[in-house]
Amino acid sequence: MTAATARLTSPGARPRELLRLAGPLVPILLTGAILFLAPAFLSDFRQNLLAKFLCFAILAIGIDLLWGYAGMLSLGHGVWFGLGGYAMGMYLKMEDADGRLPDFMNWSGLTAIPWFWKPFEHAWFALPAAVLGPGFLAYLVGYLVFRSRVKGAYFSIITQALALILSIFFVGQQQYTGGTNGLTNFSTLFGFTLADRATQDALYYLTVATLLLTMLFATWLTRAPLGRLLIAIRDDEDRVRFSGHNVTLLKAAVFAVSAALAGLAGALYVPQVGIISPANMGIVPSIEFVLLVAVGGRATITGAVIGAILVSWARSTLSENYPDTWLYLFGALFIGSVLLFPAGIVGTWRSLLRHRRLPIRRPPFRAPSAVRLDTPGASHE
């Protein structure tokens, strides 16, 4: 139920009303509690891995808003993740170089810092750029694509092409982007040594906090009237248009929000993993990002987070234990879970709950004093 219908419930439903507002916060608080306590039980290495998974969870929420709610399947979110990561990487490189030429530029024969690298020496530019840059670019791309009424598979293909083009472009521009190797060998962030335990701890908690805020934001967004509007677009885009909404702008805006979250995830990922390269932004990672949401459950925020953590965890566990065959196992796991649970983990869980609760009806609806349409003959309706 949304706020839109709140007026329609009986005024005596106050406590239930409170529960309705507080209910969605439970998964967020639970996630927060688990993640804040987790470092006590994890080795430094595992904690660092978890932080990486949490970055993917932020990105998965963005994909969920776009795909699960508004029905647009982007197979190119690596682009936005990568752009956010590169913006952060450029800042780290500039900080390390401290006015001199970053190492890889030296090797590629550049003699001066390129003009578009210059602003990235300032954190106040690089950090917002990591989030707003992808958001703005996605809005532009989205506006052009959606204006010509491109949708469904065609939209997916365009986003996939974008991922391919950009990753090839980044490989080709070695002197500016570090080529295939990407940007790596970072040593400090805001003057703190990245290898330090305390720095990594701080980054971990920052990631947890960002994830919780993202969950809160997404929960608010999807429970607001806008969330219903997104589902309406997924159901029947043309009907939304004929209801007087500017669907082109709405879709572009959601695409932008989703891309901005991906950029945010990329920016958090880089200082903790220590590298960003075209391998993070091509087609394969883009498809893996979608799998996170598919396994966790579309159109549920918690599902996106659970999916992101579980899938990433399975991926790394399998690759550690079966270095030769892990890709096959990973693929089989994915195919199996999508075949068995097409609604995802959370979606399946919810439908199980619904079935169990079936005999209990929703709160009775306030009986209208008079249904004005009723003719005497039809009054029993």
- 43: contact with another protein by CB under 8 A: no
Burial 220-229 (b: 16+ CB within 10 A, else e): ebbbeeebbb
- Site membership for another protein, residue 250 (CB under 8 A): yes
Least distance (Å) from another protein to the CB of residue 92? 34
Q: Rounded to the nearest 5 degrees, what angle is found at the Cα of 212, between the Cα atoms of 204 and 84?
A: 65
| The binder of another protein chosen from 253, 265, 281, 292 (CB under 8 A) | 253
Among 132, 221, 283, 343, the residue binding another protein under the rule CB under 8 A is 221
**Closer residue to another protein (CB): 356 or 372:** 372
172 in helix, strand or coil? helix
* 3 state DSSP class of 208: helix
The string of DSSP letters for 67-98 reads IIIT----S-HHHHHHHHHHHHHHHHHHHHHT
346-365 positions binding another protein, by CB under 8 A = 362, 365
C-alpha to C-alpha distance for 374 and 381, rounded to whole angstroms: 8
- Count, residues near another protein per rule CB under 8 A: 49
Interface mask toward another protein for 143-182; x: CB under 8 A: -----xx-xx------------------------------
Min dist. Cβ of residue 351 to another protein (A): 14
Q: Where are the alpha helices (H) located in the chain, listed in sequence order? A: 14-22, 25-37, 44-63, 77-97, 103-107, 123-147, 153-172, 174-177, 197-223, 225-235, 237-241, 247-273, 283-296, 301-321, 326-340, 344-356
Q: Under the criterion CB under 8 A, does residue 372 sit at the interface with another protein?
A: yes
Closest to another protein by CB, 24 or 119: 24
How distant, in Å, are the alpha carbons of 176, 277, 317 from that of 182?
A: 10, 4, 25
Q: Using the rule CB under 8 A, give the single segment among 73-81, 137-145, 222-230, 310-318 that binds another protein.
A: 222-230
Contact residue for another protein among 44, 161, 169, 238 (CB under 8 A): 238
Binding stretches for another protein (CB under 8 A): 1-8, 148-149, 151-152, 220-221, 224-226, 228-229, 231-232, 234-236, 238-247, 249-250, 253, 362, 365, 367-368, 371-375, 377-378, 381
